[in-house]
Amino acid sequence: FDPAALRTCKAASEFDAIPRVLPHLFSERPATKLLAAMAMQHWCEHGQMARLALKKGAGRALQRMLAVQGTAVGDDPTNDKISRVAARTLTSIATVNRDAESAYSMHRATQESLEALARLDATLIIQAGARRLLARRQPPPENRPWA
């Protein structure tokens, strides 16, 4: 929670922070990517910043980031957090933006991204269950005294 959110947004706008943060959405470091997505989410909760972010290409960048995150394999909880923050940011942009066509396409992209995340979560759960089941069914190796 930022008690001075409007002041923070004004400072971000004055220093042209959005184009400076966008490249960090594609950082190799998950923590950097998460912080960039969280900053974008915070700024895009305010109308003027959301419209500015959309004009600077944040919508397309967040959609690309979600597409990349959706293909990430593994059980890293940071990837899930990044994807959810990016999806919420797109929802904020769509909600704040009064242009109906743009809002509709952003909302649709967000819904598709959330559906892709749900499919990925389900796939990971099924794979983990299958691994546990296979581990229980395999007999212990005979030549290992500790098995």
Provide the 8-state DSSP code for 23: G
Span 55-62, mean pLDDT? 83
Q: Which residue has the higher pLDDT, 142 or 41?
A: 41
CA atoms within 13 A on the CB side of 42: 22
How buried is 129 (Cβ within 10 angstroms: 0-12 exposed, 13-18 middle, 19+ buried)? Answer: exposed
- Across 91-104, average pLDDT: 64
Q: Decide: pTM greater than 0.85.
A: no
